[in-house]
Structure 1
Amino acid sequence: MSSKAHDNEDACDKQPPLKEELSRKIKEQKVIVDELSNLRKNRKVYIQQSNSNIFFLADRSQTLGTCKKDLDYMKKELQDM
């Protein structure tokens, strides 16, 4: 009986799977933003075509802006949970 009570306590301490997944994605997005922010101005940036392994040349500043917006959106979603 004590093991069931212990299992319930562990379940309450953990984040729900969706919230945990969103937290992981936020950490990844922060790394992406930091990497793009620290690139030299003349470096080339490529973005991946969705649902494929094809990459296209992209504008660094535009990509950085998009990534920052995505990060802000994910943070807002996490706060709303």
Structure 2
Amino acid sequence: MINREWHAAHKLGRNASLDDRLAWHLDHAANCDCREMPLAIRREAEARGLPVPRLRRLQADTCPTAATWPPGTPPVRH
């Protein structure tokens, strides 16, 4: 679900630097679950050793398929 208040208060400029884009997307992922982080941004964050938040709607406690997210990971055995 989109966090309209967050989006209204946090605009990302068209010519934003990679550092600015990375910071915006990390903040976005922590505050809004309207969409997945772009793969290029996710990879850059991981390359820098930054924690990448998961979509809240994909957390295991709210979504049974989250146990196998991202695709290709082995299922969690309970």
Tell me the TM-score normalised to structure 2 length.
0.31
Q: Counting strand residues as a fraction of each chain, which structure ranks higher? A: 1
Q: Counting helix residues as a fraction of each chain, which structure ranks higher? A: 1
Higher relative contact order, structure no. (Cα contacts within 8 Å, ≥ 6 residues apart): 1
Decide which structure has the larger Cα Rg and report it.
1
